[in-house]
Structure 1
Amino acid sequence: MVLWGKIATDVTNSIQLRSEKRVIFVLRFWKIKVWKEDRYVLNAYNVSNVQLNPNMAGVEEFRAL
């Protein structure tokens, strides 16, 4: 995935500040676009959100796998 602008800066800074080896990204309010069999992740509604290792039930279940 390629991130641009403020989101890319925020994600880079957050990864560098974490001591954890794994980083789980949770993308909210994004959409997947398919063009010529390639998939793209696009922000949607100008409210897209990226969270790194959030404390959420779904993330905890994923980690447990």
Structure 2
Amino acid sequence: MSNLIPVERIENKIYIIRGQKVMLDKDLAELYGVKTFVLNQAVKRNIARFPEDFMFSLSRKEI
């Protein structure tokens, strides 16, 4: 059985960027208990499952 993550912990990882609520890959990876590159690799392998506007890359200024 999986452990539930407290809502507050998730809410603290949500940012407003470009007027959209987003979660950073590093934060999602942490919540899932995997390394960031593993999460990104899984997304790349399954890119067809995600809508085109599902994710975007941040500019250096936004980081």
Higher strand share: 1
**What TM-score does the superposition give when structure 1 sets the normalisation length?**
0.29
**What TM-score does the superposition give when structure 2 sets the normalisation length?**
0.30
Higher helix share: 2
Greater relative contact order (Cα < 8 A, sep 6+): 1
